[in-house]
Amino acid sequence: VQAAETQATTFGAATISAVSFFNSEAGPRISCASLGDSGVMVLRKSSASTRRSVVLESVQQQHDWNCPYQLMRLPQDFACKIENCQGGQPIKYDTAEACEIFETTLQLGDLILVFTDGFSDNVSQEKLLDLMEMLEGGVDLVDAEYLAQQLAAAAHEISLDRSAHVPFHDNARRAGVFVAGGGKQDDITVLASLVMSGSERGLIPVSTQRHELHAFALL
């Protein structure tokens, strides 16, 4: 994230979530850094149920309602105009140091989702778990590309539904802001990763314990 902040050469602003996988004595682990309202989530099945539960979820970082933390690089003349409108007060930029950082040990079969707010603003956690139960249908291994595509498509469908009640409304209400009903139309990105054993499909191991990662993104 610091590299994205310091080495940017174009202008603009973006939230960011970065994920890395590494070995430990306890097994494969995931380390995450998240800035703003993009998100990371780890879902796991228990031995007693085919329904997944959320074992790790990043927290949205907001300055105010719908004003997420983000890395930003502005042209100098535009930045000066903003500062003049603020009575000469300098712009307060968010930095990589403000990232939420967390990590956890992964287990075989864990599903890692990385997504933009276009997904989480339309799909509640309970709705996500319902979708996962339907998509996986009790099968131990479902293709990660299929999951990413179906989850993004479901979020897109909800975003176009004028009668939908979505998390974006609940967050607005808690902030004392009124927004019109229906889904929130926005860009939607979902990346799904499954932790798999070395014997599954001949995938490249991501740990010495021969757990593997199968990751796909839908933009």
Over residues 47-97, the pLDDT tens digits come to 888 899 999 999 999 999 999 999 999 999 988 888 888 888 888 899 999
**Tokens (6 digits) for 132:** 């996962």
3-state secondary structure of 15: coil
- What is the DSSP code (8-state) at residue 163? T
Phi-psi category of residue 24: left, alpha or beta, with phi > 0 → left and psi -120 to 50 → alpha: beta
Q: Alpha-carbon distance 168 to 177, whole Å?
A: 11
Phi and psi, residue 135, nearest 5°: -70, -40
Phi-psi category of residue 175: left, alpha or beta, with phi > 0 → left and psi -120 to 50 → alpha: alpha
pLDDT in tens, 83-140: 888 888 888 899 999 999 999 999 988 999 999 999 999 999 999 999 999 999 877 7
Could you give the maximum distance between any two Cα atoms of the chain, in Å?
63
